[in-house]
Structure 1
Amino acid sequence: MVKHRFTVEDYHKAYAAGALGQGRVELINGEVYIMSPMGNKHRRYIGALNYEIVTKLKDKTYMFCQVPIQLDDKSEPEPDFVLTVPPGSRYDDRPPGPADILLIIEVSDATLVFDRTMKLPLYIRAGIPEIWIVNLLEEKLEVYRAPDYQPVYFEKGTAVAPLAFGEDRLEWWV
């Protein structure tokens, strides 16, 4: 069996040509993965976190929600949230890159193992300073921060302040 590896450029061409189907896909280490459909709990957390971020950090970050972020020439994952250096006009002529990213948040239930084993190492390799995995299965927040990226776990009900935003705490639970 032969596996075809994609670069980001190849991936964009294949997607534009309709070769990757109509569903949502991600390019991870040169391989295309079909994204699982979003369940009700996942959707609810996306809505709640979106509200928290917009309400509490609107003047401190520019947020992208569920858009592809190119990390290198073989990976373009689609995190649930990407909080970047403002203003948004910085990205009028170019997409945000790893140097622009302050925090990535993944909301994970069916994708928990994939997010931990495939996407988290990509974010770390790209030098993203902080990554959150909202673990819906165990109802915990997993926080990974540079330089060592050792996980720190927060129980449901604990508001957490992302490093880039001082004391501004986000209520990540619903």
Structure 2
Amino acid sequence: MKSLPRLYWHATRRTSVRGVLLLGACAITIAALWYVKASLDKQLTEREVQLDRMIALAARHAPPRPAPRKVLSPAAQHQLDRQIGLLNRDWTLLSKRIAPDSRQISLLGMDVDPATGSIHVSGLADSTTIANIYARSLSQQTAVLRQVRLLQLAKGDDGIRFEISAQWND
């Protein structure tokens, strides 16, 4: 086996054109990157200042926040719940119960006040007996109506006009 030749490296001072060009290119690249970073930092700072100004301006021109809602007293809350319950009643059931079964009765109008639960019905009947029977049938609808009263019976050219008032059950 042959032994490998021994190589001794000795540092020498040689300056090559390639080395200088490479070193110059690295320096220019580092300077360009530093310049780009500095300009981006400057833009970021300007945008942050602009954003702060916009936030301050928006805060000055924003409508005032509404005051927090007052908590209702238990009595007021109960009254509000009752009024909402009155508005959310079963209107179709009321209409079915008030609608007459007989063709001898025609309803002319029905006025319902949901806040008080009062009902005012006006209609036209062929005779006073039929109007009384209709009022009595409404008074027997105790699940829906109470305090049914026949307010008026009046003879007209087209028949007997009647008016009935009642209270809508809760």
Same fold (TM over 0.5): no
Structure with the larger RCO, 1 or 2 (CA within 8 Å, 6+ apart): 1
TM-score category, normalised to shorter length: under 0.3
TM-score after normalising by structure 1:
0.25
Q: Which has the larger radius of gyration?
A: 2
TM-score after normalising by structure 2:
0.25
Q: Which has the higher helix share?
A: 2
